């Protein structure tokens, strides 16, 4: 049956958010292809997809089951359903689109567990560099207003060194659109986890190394944009998530709606 889950999240996005990290490299390539070509998915057969990737239909079925679907047919139906609903939203601006898709990616249970982790943390360290540091700094400054000690960093070397000094009662929040393994943010989060600190990642929607590393994951929707070889993608979805975390925190622990 095609449906929404109880939290109002599309089943497709919920399953992807929960289980995408279980896929191997070949399955991830197949999934990416299907999502990039979702407009044509109704015309694709499982054998055609298997042939394109030099594999067998059972590989496609196994991928769908890893994601939490009964098989390729249910996955296909959910993609078609989600596409129709998104199209029915009518003419919306790119920023509206970012909000809609980011909301679809949010898991209320994970969000609540993260809010509880913020409340229980002795100290919070934010790991973020470049354009992604702004939403981290914004959340950090607002948490200081309500008495939650936290720190953000300008120097990545100090960030990584501070991660090694964390305590199991501390919380590390890693913010990175790409979630790349060869980044200072990943290195800091890895060190924080190694010393027993709880870790949270806020990344773009993909199966990325940083999300796979952390205890909890939140995903924002964003399209890649490079200008003169420089990353210029907007961090609007990351700002949306950090604002949501703060507002939900106020609602739960301070009774402020």
Averaged pLDDT, 75-85: 86
Q: Is pTM, for the whole model, over 0.75?
A: no
E runs forming strands in 87-235: 124-127, 150-151, 171-176, 198-204, 216-220, 226-227, 230-231
Q: Are 125 and 171 a contacting pair, CB within 8 Å?
A: yes
Q: Are 175 and 136 a contacting pair, CB within 8 Å?
A: yes
Could you give the C-alpha distances from 148 to 120, 125, 170, in angstroms and in order?
Answer: 10, 11, 12
User: Cβ contacts of residue 190 below 8 Å, gap of 6+?
Assistant: 213
Phi, psi for 106 (deg, rounded to 5): -80, 130
pLDDT in tens, 103-152: 888 888 899 999 999 999 999 999 999 999 999 999 999 999 999 999 99
Q: Are 23 and 31 a contacting pair, CB within 8 Å?
A: yes
Q: How far is it, in rounded angstroms, from Cα 102 to Cα 159?
A: 28
Judge whether residue 241 has pLDDT over 50: yes
Question: 9 falls in which pLDDT band (50, 70, 90)?
Answer: very low
């Amino acid at each position: 049956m095609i449906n929404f889950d109880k939290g109002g999240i599309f089943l497709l996005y919920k399953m992807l958010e929960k289980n995408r990290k279980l896929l191997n490299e070949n399955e991830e390539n197949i999934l990416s292809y299907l999502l990039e070509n979702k407009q044509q998915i109704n015309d694709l057969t499982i054998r055609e997809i298997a042939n394109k990737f030099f594999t067998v239909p059972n590989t496609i079925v196994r991928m769908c089951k890893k994601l939490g679907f009964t098989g390729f047919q249910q996955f296909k139906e959910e993609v078609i359903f989600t596409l129709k609903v998104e199209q029915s939203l009518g003419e919306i601006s790119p920023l509206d689109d970012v909000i809609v898709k980011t909301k679809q990616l949010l898991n209320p249970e994970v969000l609540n567990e993260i809010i509880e982790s913020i409340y229980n943390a002795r100290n919070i360290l934010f790991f973020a560099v470049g354009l992604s540091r702004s939403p981290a700094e914004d959340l950090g400054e607002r948490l200081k207003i309500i008495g939650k000690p936290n720190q953000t960093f300008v120097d990545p070397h100090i960030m990584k060194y501070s991660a090694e000094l964390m305590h199991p009662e501390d919380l590390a929040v890693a913010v990175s659109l790409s979630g790349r393994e060869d980044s200072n943010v990943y290195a800091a989060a890895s060190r924080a986890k190694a010393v027993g600190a709880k870790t949270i990642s806020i990344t773009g929607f993909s199966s990325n190394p940083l999300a796979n590393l952390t205890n909890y994951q939140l995903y924002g929707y964003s399209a890649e944009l490079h200008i003169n070889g420089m990353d210029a993608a907007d961090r609007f979805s990351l700002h949306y998530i950090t604002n949501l975390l703060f507002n939900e925190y106020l609602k739960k622990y301070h009774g402020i709606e």
